[in-house]
Amino acid sequence: MDLDVVNMFVIAGGTLALPILAFVASFLLWPSALIKIYYWYWRRTLGMQVCYVYHEDYQFCYSFRGRPGHKPSILMLHGFSAHKDMWLSVVKFLPKNLHLVCVDMPGHEGTTRSSLDDLSIDGQVKRIHQFVECLKLNKKPFHLIGTSMGGHVAGVYAAYYPSDVCSLSLVCPAGLQYSTDNQFIQRLKELQDSAAMEKIPLIPSTPEEMSEMLQLCSYVRFKVPQQILQGLVDVRIPHNNFYRKLFLEIVSEKSRYSLHQNMDKIKVPTQIIWGKQDQVLDVSGADMLAKSIANCQVELLENCGHSVVMERPRKTAKLIVDFLASVHNTSNNKKLD
């Protein structure tokens, strides 16, 4: 604990003693509860409201800020085993006059988890389309953003439903077929061959495995206290069986290369953002996409790994805003010609 924080506790003393002791006890004993409170507080601070919408008996949970206007709405799709709140670090730097929607992907957080659900990339695309229809978000074409698994879904969505989307941002998306495997993919294939898929690196079950996953996904080496690592694991463990089922589905032959198979069908202006030091999905994927998508801009970030949204939120937000401005202005100019 920093000396300044300790001094603050000492000065506060008296009437603050009990609340402070309660906070410290919560941090040590129930770190997972504190993590949930942290996200609640951050959503509240940024003006993000949580809502639910239903397609028949299927529940979607999402957060939003703003209302549809003359600028395109923005729909944000998170990555594997994450949730809608992963976007908060980027939302912090986005203009408040934009209509933002962050949805929990199928089976994640507040969105329905069903043993009957189709968790393939195609299945997830169809579910997200149901969500879009429920909100009538496609009443006017919107900007779609996805990262990692969410980028995989976003890219295929743009190919399947071109009239829904006016532009697209893919942040280190999955779903591409590389000529050579990086170390992470090689390790996964070794696990598959040895039938040891319960040890998937992206599904940690101990604080040590959580630390290893953070190091795998981030170029920046975060110094995370043991209690927070434990809290992050505690939050995830009840969902690990689902994550394992989902992971095996999205790396199956049916889903693994869905984006690759559909990237030439993406016709909207597209932005690719990728960390140059990505150890999970090789940055060379950006060049593959640029060669297949006609109107495509590529932004490669130095000293950045797979967790672009966590590592470079301000830069990511600026790139998205600048891209939207260029696409929007170009569209307006064409209308005036």
Residue 81 among the catalytic residues: no
The answer on pLDDT for 94 being more than 80 is: yes
Q: Which among 78, 278, 282, 307 is annotated as catalytic?
A: 278
CA pair distance 196, 208, nearest whole angstrom: 18
- What does the chain come to in residues? 337
Query: Could you report the per-residue pLDDT of 10-53, keeping only the tens digit for each?
Result: 334 444 444 443 444 444 445 677 788 889 999 999 999 999 99
Q: Which among 89, 148, 167, 258 is annotated as catalytic?
A: 148
Per-residue DSSP letters for 186-229?
A: HHHHHHHHTT-GGG-TTS--SHHHHHHHHHHH-SS-----HHHH
Give the tokens for residue 314: 């301000």
Q: Regarding beta strands 100-103 and 58-65, do their DSSP bridges make them parallel or antiparallel, or are they unpaired?
A: antiparallel
Q: Which CATH architecture has domain 47-334?
A: 3-Layer(aba) Sandwich (3.40)
Query: Could you report the per-residue pLDDT of 122-160, keeping only the tens digit for each?
Result: 999 999 999 999 999 999 999 999 999 999 999 999 999
CA pair distance 63, 84, nearest whole angstrom: 7
Per-residue DSSP letters for 109-164?
A: TTS---TTS--SHHHHHHHHHHHHHHHTGGGS-EEEEEETHHHHHHHHHHHH-TTT
pTM here is: 0.89
The reported pLDDT for the residue numbered 189 is 82
Q: Are 133 and 122 in contact (CB under 8 A)?
A: no
Nearest to 130 by CA among 145, 112, 116, 143: 112
CA pair distance 129, 134, nearest whole angstrom: 9
Residue 148 among the catalytic residues: yes
Q: Where are the domains of the chain?
A: 47-334
Residue 55 among the catalytic residues: no
Q: Which among 83, 99, 260, 306 is annotated as catalytic?
A: 306
